[in-house]
């Protein structure tokens, strides 16, 4: 069938690319592969299954549960729970595997399936590849008492809220917070967590109907949140995506605080508390140079990875680091979570405001963002982007000219015949000029 796992599970148009039949096959294959890899320790395996509120999640949940149970796995349905909550409950309930049905920030017609190993960790590439190879293979089906049993575990949501609230020592009494829940999986967890910490909570886009998830709301469309924070006279606002593994923030003046700024604020918090392992933060190559300069000023180190939170997580686990993330708002705090957690991120940002007595606008000034221009050049041979001598020479010359005041990045798309040209420079005009020139060279040198 070819490669179907992407950087964040299997994802596609529900009932077209991602069908009930495929969901059953994936679940059966995952149970077999994990079982043969020793993940079940020769005992009757258990799994937790959760989803975000989108309509297609209902039939996909049924298909996943059916596949697992038919393979002899006992299943606990968690209902609508954020992705990081599913990871946490996989560990808390000592399940042998977890499954999250969500397409994260994608529009409603899409959906996805993400498998988690014991402890709530994402599956490594070799296990995902093994699952793909085992799809639709003949297998001996258990019968009688050997088939899996299915039940509901609705108490998990409360346990997850307690975990989030207990991750900070500060109370949020007297704070007014606006939460944009993206009509997604955080519509209960987000408000309940902030209320438990004493904050006055105003919610928007917290009424999922199965069709409105991520629709002109959440972290990909923060306009409503920016207006609501100002109108409500709130101290801050936080926007999640559909499965609540991302968070972007808005200060009291309605200005957006992105993932780079959030990372810097949390890095300084962890540094002050002596919890930032090796004084190091992990981010992707797309993070603004301003983040690197801010961390350097504070005596901290930035490790860059390829784009994708799984690569950030891999680097964190390999180096034993405690903080990493992406400009898009994926923030991973490994002291408290095995994956990006939007509500956790929001809670720690609000707690830092209390701890320092500073407004979010003030905290965010730690990062001075350099103007960043990103151009997509389509219809080119992206595979030659890293080897064409003329193009590489022009990139090197532009990088040398910008020096420490800017940066050039050429990145082939993983799915399209597109090369992305990213330039950071001291001024918008200079960044645009360099990006336009390099894009022209990409078109000329890599033309199909």
Q: Which residues contact 165 (CB under 8 A, 6 or more apart)?
A: 193, 196, 197, 347
Helices of type H across 71-124: 83-92
3-class DSSP assignment, residue 180 = strand
Q: Which residues contact 5 (CB under 8 A, 6 or more apart)?
A: 128, 129, 131, 132
Would residue 134 be called left, alpha or beta, if left means φ above 0 and alpha means ψ between -120 and 50 degrees? alpha
- Active site annotation includes 104: yes
User: Residue 126 burial (CB < 10 Å; 0-12/13-18/19+)?
Assistant: exposed
Would residue 233 be called left, alpha or beta, if left means φ above 0 and alpha means ψ between -120 and 50 degrees? left
Residue among 27, 56, 102, 104 flagged as catalytic: 104
Q: Which residues contact 251 (CB under 8 A, 6 or more apart)?
A: 229, 236, 257, 359, 360, 361, 364
Of the candidates 204, 38, 53, 261, the one whose C-alpha atom is nearest the C-alpha of residue 130 is 38
The sign of the torsion formed by the CA atoms of 299, 305, 308, 311 equals negative
Dist CA 272 CA 259 (whole Å)? 20
Q: How many CA atoms lie within 13 A of 429 on its CB side?
A: 0
CA of residue 191 relative to chain centroid, distance: 20
When computed from its CA atoms, the radius of gyration of the chain, rounded to whole angstroms, is 22
Of the candidates 361, 62, 128, the one whose C-alpha atom is nearest the C-alpha of residue 230 is 361
In sequence order, what are the beta bridge partners of 265? none
DSSP-derived pairing of the beta strands 5-6 and 9-13: antiparallel
Q: How many CA atoms lie within 13 A of 270 on its CB side?
A: 27
CA of residue 318 relative to chain centroid, distance: 19
The sign of the torsion formed by the CA atoms of 334, 340, 311, 399 equals negative
Catalytic residue set: 104
């Amino acid at each position: 069938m070819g490669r179907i796992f992407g950087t964040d599970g299997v994802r596609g148009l529900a009932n077209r690319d991602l069908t009930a039949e495929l969901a059953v096959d994936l679940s059966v294959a995952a149970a077999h592969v994990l079982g043969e890899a020793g993940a079940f320790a020769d005992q009757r395996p258990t799994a937790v299954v959760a989803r975000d509120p989108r309509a297609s999640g209902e039939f996909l949940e049924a298909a996943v549960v059916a596949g697992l149970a038919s393979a002899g796995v006992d299943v606990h349905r968690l209902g609508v729970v954020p992705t990081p909550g599913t990871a946490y409950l996989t560990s808390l309930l000592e399940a042998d595997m977890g499954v999250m049905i969500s397409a994260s920030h994608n529009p409603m017609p899409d959906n996805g399936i993400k498998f988690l190993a014991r402890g709530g960790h994402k599956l490594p590439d070799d296990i995902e590849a093994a699952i793909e190879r085992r799809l639709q293979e003949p297998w001996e089906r258990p019968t009688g008492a050997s088939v899996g049993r299915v039940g509901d575990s609705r108490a998990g949501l409360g346990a997850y809220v307690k975990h989030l609230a207990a991750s900070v020592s500060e109370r949020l009494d007297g704070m007014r917070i606006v939460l944009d829940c993206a009509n997604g999986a955080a519509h209960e967890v987000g408000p309940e967590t902030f209320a438990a910490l004493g904050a006055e909570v105003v919610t928007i886009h917290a009424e999922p109907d199965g069709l409105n998830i991520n629709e002109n709301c959440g972290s990909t469309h923060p306009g409503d949140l920016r207006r609501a924070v100002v109108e409500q006279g709130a101290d801050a606002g936080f926007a999640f995506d559909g499965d609540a593994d991302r968070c972007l923030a808005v200060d009291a003046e309605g200005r957006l605080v992105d993932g780079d700024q959030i990372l810097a604020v949390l890095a300084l918090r962890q540094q002050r508390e002596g919890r930032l392992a090796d004084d190091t933060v992990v981010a992707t190559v797309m993070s603004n140079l301003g983040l690197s300069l801010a961390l350097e000023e504070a005596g901290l180190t930035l490790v860059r990875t390829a784009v994708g939170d799984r690569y950030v997580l891999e680097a964190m686990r390999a180096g034993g680091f405690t903080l990493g993330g992406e400009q898009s708002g994926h923030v991973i705090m490994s002291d408290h979570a095995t994956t990006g957690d939007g509500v956790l991120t929001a809670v720690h940002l609000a707690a830092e405001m209390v701890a320092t007595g500073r407004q979010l606008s003030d905290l965010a000034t730690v990062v001075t963002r350099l103007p960043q221009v990103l151009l997509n050049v389509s219809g080119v041979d992206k595979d030659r982007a890293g080897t064409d001598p003329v193009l590489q020479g022009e990139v090197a010359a532009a990088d040398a000219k910008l020096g420490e005041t800017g940066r050039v990045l050429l990145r082939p798309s993983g799915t399209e015949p597109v090369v992305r040209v990213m330039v950071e420079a001291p001024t918008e005009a200079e960044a645009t000029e360099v990006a336009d020139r390099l894009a022209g060279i990409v078109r000329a040198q890599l033309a199909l």
